């Protein structure tokens, strides 16, 4: 696990009300669509699906339902929204309340999971099951919480021997800020087209008033997710209000020392989390850089550049005279959930990557970037002289000079070597570090695929994209998952997949990768 709960009670935050007002002014419009179930299904064993559980269509119930009866509704696609149903009773007058359990599932195996056995470290309150009592029927059941799901399982826990119940007018008020009309990405390869379509669906479900990391769980704005979601958004929807809204929220609520929170809560009020990840803090610069490349916006640049600069001033305090990034334990780099590899070289590369972008932003603002150029040169020199191993032709990391995929990938993305050397570096990485082991997030797989493309190994990049995201589709994904290890499909960073998100922001990027590196389209 690469992230643990941080409790920083002593951190002091600043609130820039002017920036918060600008954030408020560009909240995207939410679109509501009524979605109806498409069929009744039952859960069945299916070795090819995640958790070995699939679904099979079944007939609608012919009679009213009594104690112990269960129905499963398939809405045909992943939806995020509020659930409602009209419920009536049949038989004698109600002599007891109706007791229902309603479970919402993004993937079929959640329908059969024993949620009472969950003992993971993340709160079980995220499990999407409700217990409902109704004293009077007929009535409209409107659940107040928002859910993220494709399947709904309704179990009649009890009625009375004297009467039963029926359900009709079942629907979901689905909600998203993604445009309702857009032009899908044109892809000639059938598998890549499926991957692009599922990527788009994933992004749309996570587009609420902010780019949520997952509509099922957390429902928060995370800065690392935001960077990737914004790129995917530019590739498909081109919606900039939501990007500006998210950037202004992070910029308006920084720590007094300049650090930027890893994530922001948006309800009931805007509040920064007291969790900090070094690479996530840096990525506000990346989001602003990508935004300005997509649509030059002088006002936003002038508003947010000073916040990015303050963060860079803070970040450089961790770089020693030799150009080595040395982070304290309480301010880690994320890179990936896994803690099974050393991340110091990848962290060095991330800062180099962001420094390049920051220097360009400084130029756009008319600021002399000489001191930053010097810092960049020092960090690059250290990377080449101290972290690149001539014997292996790869970058090493940590005291034990570990060679891992993250170090190679991020050094390629950081542009420390020239194209020819990057090509050779990733060629060796494919030979010696593939298949990838111990990495279980689409977040890290995105960077591996991008590094392959950047190094000119297009065939290898496409092959990995198909093998990774394509396997999720083969196992039943209609939105891409938060965590997926092809060697351990049921892996969860939380100790149990019951609370994992199966529609997650950082997994939506293939649509951007395809448009940029395969279609070669500028946007």
Mean pLDDT, residues 7-21:
91
The span from the CA of 249 to the CA of 210, in Å, is 10
Residue 406: C-alpha distances to residues 336, 337, 347, 394 (Å): 9, 12, 9, 11
Residue 7: is its pLDDT beyond 80? no
Compute the Cα dihedral for 176, 178, 181, 184 and give only its sign. Answer: negative
Burial class (CB in 10 A: 0-12, 13-18, 19+), 317: exposed
Beta carbons within 8 Å of 216's beta carbon, 6+ residues apart: 106, 126, 128, 147, 148, 149, 501, 502, 503
Q: How many residues does the chain have?
A: 523
Mean pLDDT, residues 356-376:
98
Q: What are 156-197's pLDDT values in tens digits? A: 999 999 999 999 999 999 999 999 999 999 999 999 999 999
Residue 1: is its pLDDT beyond 60? no
Instruction: State both tokens at 172.
Output: 């979901």
Compute the Cα dihedral for 148, 151, 154, 155 and give only its sign. Answer: negative
Mean pLDDT, residues 78-91:
98
Q: Which of 453, 474, 440 has its CA nearest to residue 337?
A: 440
372 HSE (CA, 13 A, CB side)? 24
Mean pLDDT, residues 413-434:
98
Report all structural domains of the chain as residue ranges with CATH numbers, in order of start.
17-29+177-518 (1.50.10.10), 33-176 (2.60.120)
Residue 2: is its pLDDT beyond 50? no
Write phi, then psi, for 162 (nearest 5 degrees): -90, -15
Q: What are 463-487's pLDDT values in tens digits? A: 999 999 999 999 999 999 999 999 9
Predicted local distance difference test score (pLDDT) of residue 79: 98
At residue 511 the predicted structure's pLDDT band, cuts being 50, 70 and 90, is very high
The span from the CA of 74 to the CA of 56, in Å, is 10
At residue 5 the predicted structure's pLDDT band, cuts being 50, 70 and 90, is low
Instruction: State both tokens at 235.
Output: 């590739």
| Mean pLDDT for all residues in the chain | 96
> pTM for this one?
0.96
Predicted local distance difference test score (pLDDT) of residue 341: 96
């Amino acid at each position: 696990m690469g992230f643990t709960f941080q409790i920083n009670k002593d951190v002091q935050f600043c609130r820039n009300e002017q920036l918060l007002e600008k954030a408020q002014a560009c909240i995207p419009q939410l679109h509501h669509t009524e979605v109806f179930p498409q069929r009744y299904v039952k859960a069945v064993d299916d070795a090819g699906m995640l958790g070995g559980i699939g679904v099979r269509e079944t007939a609608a119930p012919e009679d009213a339902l009594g104690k112990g009866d269960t129905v499963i509704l398939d809405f045909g696609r992943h939806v995020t929204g509020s659930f409602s149903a009209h419920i009536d009773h049949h038989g004698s007058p109600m002599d007891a309340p109706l007791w229902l359990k309603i479970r919402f599932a993004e993937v079929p195996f959640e329908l059969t999971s024993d949620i009472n056995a969950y003992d993971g470290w993340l709160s079980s309150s995220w499990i999407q099951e409700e217990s409902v009592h109704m004293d009077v029927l007929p009535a409209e059941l409107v659940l107040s919480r928002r859910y993220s799901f494709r399947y709904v399982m309704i179990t009649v826990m009890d009625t009375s021997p004297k009467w039963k119940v029926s359900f009709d007018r079942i629907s979901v008020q689905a909600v998203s800020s993604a445009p309702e009309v857009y032009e899908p990405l044109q892809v000639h390869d059938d598998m890549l087209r499926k991957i692009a379509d599922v990527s788009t669906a994933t992004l749309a479900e996570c587009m609420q008033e902010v780019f949520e990391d997952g509509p099922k769980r957390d429902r928060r704005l995370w800065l690392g997710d935001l960077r990737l979601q914004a790129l995917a958004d530019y590739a498909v929807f081109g919606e900039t209000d939501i990007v500006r809204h998210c950037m202004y929220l992070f910029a308006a609520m920084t720590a007094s020392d300049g650090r930027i929170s890893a994530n922001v809560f948006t309800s009931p009020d805007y509040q920064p989390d007291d969790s900090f990840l070094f690479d996530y803090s840096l990525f506000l610069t990346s989001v602003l850089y990508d935004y300005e490349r997509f649509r030059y916006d002088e006002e936003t640049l002038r508003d947010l550049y000073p916040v990015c600069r303050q963060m860079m001033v803070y970040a450089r305090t961790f770089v020693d005279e030799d150009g080595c990034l040395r982070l304290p334990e309480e301010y880690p780099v994320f890179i990936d959930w896994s803690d099974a590899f050393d991340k110091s070289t990848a962290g060095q590369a991330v800062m180099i990557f962001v420094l390049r972008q920051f220097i360009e932003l400084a130029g756009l603002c008319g600021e002399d970037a000489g001191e930053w150029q010097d810092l960049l040169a020092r960090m690059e020199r250290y990377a080449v002289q101290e972290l690149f191993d001539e014997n292996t032709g790869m970058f090493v990391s940590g005291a034990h000079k570990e060679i891992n995929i993250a170090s190679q990938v991020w050094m390629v993305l950081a542009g420390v070597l020239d194209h020819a050397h990057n090509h050779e570096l990733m060629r060796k990485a494919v030979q010696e570090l593939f298949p990838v082991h111990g990495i279980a997030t689409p977040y890290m797989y995105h960077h591996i695929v991008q590094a392959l493309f950047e190094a000119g190994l297009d065939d290898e990049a496409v092959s990995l994209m198909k093998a990774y995201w394509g396997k999720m589709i083969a196992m039943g994904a209609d939105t891409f998952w938060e965590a997926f290890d092809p060697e351990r499909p049921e892996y969860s960073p939380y100790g149990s997949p019951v609370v994992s998100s199966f529609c997650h922001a950082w997994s939506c990027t293939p649509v951007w990768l395809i448009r940029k590196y395969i279609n070669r389209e500028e946007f």
